Structure 1
Amino acid sequence: MTAVLALVLLLTVLLGLVTGFRDAPNAVALPVRFRALSPRIALVMAAVLNTVGTLLGMAMLGAAVAVVGGLDAVAAGALPGLAVALTVALAWGLLLWWLRMPISMTHAVLAAIAAAHLAAHVALGVPLDEAFSRDAHRDVLLSLALSPVLAWGLSRLLTPLVVRLGTTGTTVNVQHRARLALALSSGMTALGHGVQAGQRLAMVWLLAAAGALGAGLPAATDLTRPFAASAVVFAAAVGAGTLGGAWRIGWTLTERLVILDPLRASVAAAVPAVLLFLGSLLLHLPLSSTHTLTASIVGAGQTQTYASVRWPTLARVVAWWLLTPLVCGALAFALGLATLRLLG
């Protein structure tokens, strides 16, 4: 049990690193592209705010669990299944980074964990947690459909108004206001992304702790200090990953999807920032920063008088969005089934 638990915690730290690395462009790509911030300043600011947001997100979920009444043990097989699910999500995220595709790591993780849970049910006869399976499917499906639609609609609605109001004065003043808005939106997006990332990492930690209780960890064990220490480590991993920048994906977001001007880019950057906090605090849904930013960029670009959206590239991006939960779920189920049967 100790070795598998250590492996799961190590994989969770790696998940924090890859999450920060892959999703850094969601906060910094537009302000760097339009020279609102230098690459170094943008990454440092995003790393700091991602770290703070991750701590806040983990604290929020940890406090919610404490209020409800703590953790219940889950059956044997949870820890190996969780290790398989995290491995699949990490491999998928790195593969899509290599392909320059912006996808949601949250959807990859949720789909893989739900599929690994199903594999434990098939291989070991572990009772299905219907509430968890239902919530995982709801979160993936709703956020997959909801976040792009909300972001696209808000961006299409707000961009003409902002352009009309923002183009008063000299060209220099207009550019200055747009870049200031981009810089502020970058910080908000980084903080909101950190909150979302913290909630997902806390969920993985709590699943690991429940699996450890089921594998023999005494029920009276005080998990407060381990959770707090893990929160610090996970937040540092997200921040360190953010400093990596993942400019391969940033190039797709700023150059291959839509042609934007700084003013429209400021709207495209502000909408995801608002939606991330809305998803965390009000809707309690894992709205994807990648999906919201991509859809917001498209919505802002469509308000221009010329054809600015590169539809073939957008179609490829959306196809990878749809494939992410399907492929990660299938791989996690197959590998989880094989692993659990091998371990007995």
Structure 2
Amino acid sequence: MTYALLIVVVITAVIFEYINGFHDSANAIATVVSTKVLTARAAIIYAGVLNMGGALLGTHVASTVGKGIVETSSVTQGVILCALFSAIIWNLITWYYAIPSSSSHALIGGLMGASIAKSGLGVVKIHGVAEKVLIPMVTSPLIGLVIGFFFMVVILWVFSKSNPDKVNKYFKKLQLLSSGVMALSHGTNDAQKTMGIITLALVSFHSLDSFEVPKWVIFLCAITMGLGTMAGGWKIIRTMGSKMIKLKPVHGFAAETSAAAVILGASHFGIPISTTHVISTSIMGVGSTKGIHAVKWGLVGNIVMAWILTIPTCMLIAGVIYHILPL
């Protein structure tokens, strides 16, 4: 039964990773599709391959998720399974309503909720959660917003006397590069969260003596993330690519470059930020340079509300599942 449960946990983690790629594919390709720089099919293949490549670049974020959120000694296969179920449910709900929410925070919230249901509040590493989750949850979107705004202002100033049509043709080529870097950065952060969860499951099963992500876990998560991204979550792609603001190639380039810089920096320091939050606020920041009314703030309000609710809702769902299932 124990071996069977471990297998179920790994399979469920792979399903979550696939849905993560599917749900968050908009992060990498929404802008490049909406600006018509690439066709939708070409964009998802391009992003999928680069997501896969980004997932192979390190395991700092995986370590934070696996051993920096809750006490590993209190985590069981059942706790991990409930956390995954919670994150999957939340991702499917937000996908259905076309809301670009955070798969990362859904997974972290689920892990915290299931762990508390089993062992109480003391199992949560408060300092780690505050430093690596809560503070970045607030600061990283703000940084994306500010960088996006000022980067776009600089671009507008540099090309202020240039022909707008020629500028956009130039940025169509540059956006191929920026969207690729965005997809790569998405892989460096998001794919690693599932690596951390699977490794945590192996540690709790005593298959590993210490928390070190096995090579097969890295490759499994990288491939699954890539395939999920290639499936494309079109509802959320439309929300981010056109419903928040009408984008041109220059705006897409500025938003993607700004977001990728924030995400790559976070990945380097092992901080599991929401790539969805960062690219969304970067788009908002870039769009604000067209005027405050250019951004559809009503839609933005709905998105922000989903961001606020993600962690507590997933904690609650995971806790309920833990008490319902005979684990």
- TM-score, normalised with respect to structure 1: 0.86
CA contact (8 A) 1:73 1:212 kept: no
**Which residue identity is paired with 1:82?**
I
- Residue 22 of structure 2 corresponds to 21
Give distance in 2, aligned partners of 1:90 and 1:240.
17
Give distance in 2, aligned partners of 1:33 and 1:202.
31
- Matching of residues 234-253 of structure 1 within 5 Å: 234-253=221-240
**Which residue identity is paired with 1:281?**
H
- Residue 78 of structure 1 corresponds to 76
> Is 1:274 equivalent to 2:261 in the alignment?
yes
- Residue 189 of structure 1 corresponds to 182
- Residue 176 of structure 1 corresponds to 169
Shift in CA distance, 318/223, structure 1 to aligned 2, threshold 3 Å: closer
- 1:278 Cα shift? 0.6
- Matching of residues 18-97 of structure 1 within 5 Å: 18-58=19-59, 60=60, 74-75=73-74, 78-97=76-95
Which residue, 134, 139, 146 being the options, matches 2:132? 139
Question: How many correspondences in the alignment?
Answer: 322
- 1:168 Cα shift? 4.5
- Residue 11 of structure 1 corresponds to 12
Shift in CA distance, 42/167, structure 1 to aligned 2, threshold 3 Å: farther
Give distance in 1, aligned partners of 2:18 and 2:102.
14
- Residue 110 of structure 2 corresponds to 112
> Is 1:292 equivalent to 2:278 in the alignment?
yes
- 1:258 Cα shift? 1.8
**Which residue identity is paired with 1:255?**
S
- Of 273-282 and 257-266, deviating more is 257-266
Give distance in 2, aligned partners of 1:84 and 1:322.
21
- Residue 252 of structure 2 corresponds to 265
Give distance in 2, aligned partners of 1:176 and 1:274.
23
1:116-141 Cα offsets, whole Å, 9 max, x none, are 1111114xxxx94454x542354331
Give distance in 2, aligned partners of 1:23 and 1:64.
20
- 1:63 Cα shift? 9.1
- 1:85 Cα shift? 0.7
- Residue 101 of structure 1 corresponds to 99
Give distance in 2, aligned partners of 1:175 and 1:27.
20
Shift in CA distance, 111/139, structure 1 to aligned 2, threshold 3 Å: farther
- 1:326 Cα shift? 1.1
Identity %: 25
- Residue 319 of structure 1 corresponds to 305
**Which residue identity is paired with 1:88?**
S
Give distance in 2, aligned partners of 1:110 and 1:320.
15
- Residue 158 of structure 1 corresponds to 151
- 1:223 Cα shift? 9.3
**Which residue identity is paired with 1:150?**
I
Unaligned runs of 5+ in 1: none
3-state SS of 1:291 partner = helix
**Which residue identity is paired with 1:44?**
I
Give distance in 2, aligned partners of 1:229 and 1:266.
35
Give distance in 2, aligned partners of 1:241 and 1:166.
38
Shift in CA distance, 110/247, structure 1 to aligned 2, threshold 3 Å: same
1:68-106 Cα offsets, whole Å, 9 max, x none, are 9xxx9734x611011011011011101110100001100
Shift in CA distance, 139/337, structure 1 to aligned 2, threshold 3 Å: farther
- 1:61 Cα shift? 6.1
CA contact (8 A) 2:244 2:295 kept: yes
Give distance in 2, aligned partners of 1:223 and 1:201.
14
> Is 1:328 equivalent to 2:314 in the alignment?
yes
3-state SS of 1:285 partner = coil
Give distance in 1, aligned partners of 2:63 and 2:109.
25
- 1:143 Cα shift? 2.4
- Of 318-327 and 195-204, deviating more is 195-204
Q: Which is higher, the Rg of structure 1 or of structure 2?
A: 1
CA contact (8 A) 1:78 1:120 kept: no
Unaligned runs of 5+ in 2: none
